[in-house]
A = this chain, B = another copy of it.
Amino acid sequence: MAERAEEEGRGTPGPHETRSADPVDWLDDGQQRAWRALQVMQARLNAALAGQLAAESDLSLPDYAVLVDLTDRPDGTARVHELARHLGWERSRVSHHVARMAERGLVRKERCKVDRRGSYAVVTEEGRRAIEAAAPGHVHAVRRFFIDVLTGEQLDALARAADRVVDAIDRLEETEGHLGP
C-alpha cells in the first residue's frame, strides 16, 4: 500500500478521497515499479557498500559520505546545514554523527564566528588518512555492485535522469523555499 490503492484497482483514488478535495493521483503500475526499483537498488547498494567498508576499513558508510563531502572542499570545512543538504539527512542526524566522528578524531567541530547557532565540521589529518585508506576498497565495491554491472549508455542515461530530478528540486526550492526538513 502507501503508493497506490491496490485494493481498489489501478487509477481508483482509494480511501483517502474523503480526506481531501482532490482525489489522490496514485502511481500507475509502471511508475510504481520505477519508484520501487530505485528504492530497492539504493537500499541494497547501501547495505552492500556498508558491508564492504565494515569488513575492510574503520569507517561506516555514513562516515565515508561525510568525509567525501569534506575532502571535496578546498578547506575541508562544511557547515552542518550544508552537510545535511548534501547528504539528505536531517540536521539532528548530521549533528549527532559529526559529534561521534569528532570523538574518534576524524573531524573537528568549530563554532561559527558569524552565526552563533551554526557550527562547522572540519576534516582532520586522521580523517584524511582514514578515507584515503578506505577509498580503494570502496571504489572496487562501487565497480562490482554498480559501475561494471551497467553499460556506459545506461550510466549516461542514469546521470541525465538524476540531473533532471535535481534540477526540478532546485527549481521548486527557488519558488517555494527550502524543501528539506
Interface residues of A (CB under 8 A from B): 1-4, 15-16, 19-20, 24-27, 30-31, 33-35, 37-48, 50-54, 60, 64-65, 67-68, 71-72, 84-90, 131-133, 135-136, 138-140, 142-147, 149-150, 152, 154-166, 168-169, 172, 178-181
Q: Known interface pairs A2-B138, A145-B168. Does A155 touch B72 (Cβ–Cβ under 8 Å)?
A: no
Offer 14 A-B interface pairs, CB within 8 angstroms, sorted by A: A2-B67, A3-B138, A3-B139, A19-B133, A20-B136, A25-B139, A25-B140, A34-B156, A35-B142, A38-B159, A41-B165, A45-B88, A48-B169, A150-B161
Residues of chain B within 8 A (CB-CB) of A132 are 1-2, 15-16
Residues of chain B within 8 A (CB-CB) of A152 are 30
Residues of chain B within 8 A (CB-CB) of A34 are 147, 150, 155-156, 158-159, 162
Residues of chain B within 8 A (CB-CB) of A155 are 30-31, 34
Residues of chain B within 8 A (CB-CB) of A67 are 2
Contact A144 B158 (CB under 8 A): no
Interface SS, A side: helix
Contact B135 A2 (CB under 8 A): yes
Contact A145 B172 (CB under 8 A): yes
Residues of chain B within 8 A (CB-CB) of A15 are 132
User: In the assembled complex, how far is the CB of residue A72 from the closest CB belonging to chain B, in whole angstroms?
Assistant: 7
